[in-house]
Structure 1
């Protein structure tokens, strides 16, 4: 199924690239505002289709993990600086708190970054400007797992939709592909971790649990 999906995605991408090149050229040479607006909309939809194709490919044909040790607190602290520059995070505050400054996990860094960019984008989209998202890290009580919790105070997710959010093509957003959370859950599961979502009148919390490394790296300093 993964090979079949990869073939279909490849065959769709080729004509899509040609169409996009034509649209970009037309956008350059046409001067009428109405024409340029229509072309801009077409290019936007082209980008959305490319993003969907990539997500379908990522879900249907996941790549092997490239594991390395990572200080999860430092990783998230740096990532949140990047997240703050995204359009979804403009005028939103992201609060960070770590109760595990030296906690290390064995992860595929690029895939983990993909997960948390997706989760934090979702959290920012769910709130109004000048509201805040919280991200906290702690050690799970009586376990060898680190817990990363992302909370927003947006409208609650309908209870009937909540169990389906991590299944493919299910989304609470009108323009969502319904694959972001499904891919995120698969990545975390591949790391022997767990992803859960809880929602109520006080907002939504997404929790990611990852096994912590038993022995810390020696201090290089």
Structure 2
């Protein structure tokens, strides 16, 4: 322990200046787990973030919200340009925040002063994250809108035709399907000992959902969905129960680690659609593997939920990955190429981000949204 010190603004700035090299060295050391192609971009960002914090301490009269907004816009613009995941940015800022606070805690500081410093550091990092996320969401929304406008007339015609075909198909198919589902329910009530009725019922429910989903994917949403507060862990459980027959068919191992207390605000049914689309895609790509695995995990930091859905299926080709969320882009022989496009629109509508990172060993879709305040 060094001698006790009082951390006023000047001494805090002096402390950071004298420990800048130590902070940056440890910060960069803890980034070594990232892919080599990412490290250069993030090392440049962390120096900007630390320099900006020191500048804020030095120039007390400056409107730093505008400067931090500008910093967030530059960081997010670089992410969009390089097709980098925003979730990694949140991870490295959390690392930097903890390193800086740990450096202060190594010293015996007057009680009350350290609380003020920690509050200032947390406030600074929260604003950097907020402005970066807001800018990133705006840029991706504009990018999607621009790409949608550039869809050529043939694709627009395909989309219109697809909507007409599915609308007709659903109305013709749903009536007998509803009758079958009704008779299965009657059999379950009258003769509950008949084997496999539960499986038949779940398969029919899934078929009904797929028909509805196909119709929803082929037309642009016209109704405003009602927002509600709901625990994301419970929704994931519901989706897993619904997909149980598909999970059995793929013989997939599913792991799920999400805090049951984490709640988000939005359309529960739209989020259900996003989860179903991504997990169904994962089941499709791992079905032929000897040990098919899907891992779902969630973590909360600074008021944001990061939900990762990973599978050990084959790598998405490099030439496809940057366009994976565009309409009519698919790696499946019989896919429409609309599922992920709609997922992206739903998440952007909820002011979040949806990204994908794929390697030879793991493909991860990452959803980043605000939690309930």
8 A contact 1:90–1:129 mirrored in 2: no
1:18-167 → structure 2 map (5 Å cutoff): 52-57=214-219, 60-86=220-246, 90-98=250-258, 100-127=259-286, 128=289, 130-140=291-301, 143-167=302-326
8 A contact 2:246–2:283 mirrored in 1: no
CA change 1:129–1:12 in 2 (3 A) is same
Greater Cα radius of gyration, structure 1 or 2: 2
**TM-score, scaled relative to structure 2:** 0.43
Which residue does 1:206 correspond to in 2? 365
- Asked if residue 168 in structure 1 is aligned to residue 330 in structure 2, the reply is no
**TM-score, scaled relative to structure 1:** 0.71
Q: Structure 1: how far apart are the matches of 2:229 and 2:360?
A: 37
**Which structure 1 residue ranges, 5 or more long, are not aligned?**
22-47, 215-221
Cα deviation, 1:52-107, whole Å, max 9, x if unaligned, reads 554121xx335322100001122212322222223685311111112x32111001
More strand per residue: 1 or 2?
A: 1
Cα deviation, 1:145-185, whole Å, max 9, x if unaligned, reads 10111111111001110011100000011111000000001
Q: Structure 2: how far apart are the matches of 1:52 and 1:160?
A: 26
8 A contact 1:13–1:50 mirrored in 2: no
Q: Structure 2: how far apart are the matches of 1:203 and 1:161?
A: 16
Q: Which moved more, 1:106-115 or 1:77-86?
A: 77-86
What is the aligned-residue RMSD (CA, Å)?
3.1
Which residue does 2:182 correspond to in 1? none
Which structure 1 residue ranges, 4+ long, deviate > 6 Å from structure 2?
Answer: 4-7, 17-21, 48-51
Secondary structure of the equivalent of 1:85?
A: helix
CA change 1:115–1:89 in 2 (3 A) is farther
Which structure exhibits the higher relative contact order, with contacts defined as CA atoms closer than 8 Å and separated by 6 or more residues? 1
**Which structure 2 residue ranges, 5 or more long, are not aligned?**
1-147, 149-155, 175-209
1:169-208 → structure 2 map (5 Å cutoff): 169-208=328-367
Secondary structure of the equivalent of 2:245?
A: coil
8 A contact 2:163–2:218 mirrored in 1: no
Count of residue pairs the alignment pairs up: 181
CA change 1:63–1:87 in 2 (3 A) is farther
8 A contact 1:145–1:211 mirrored in 2: yes
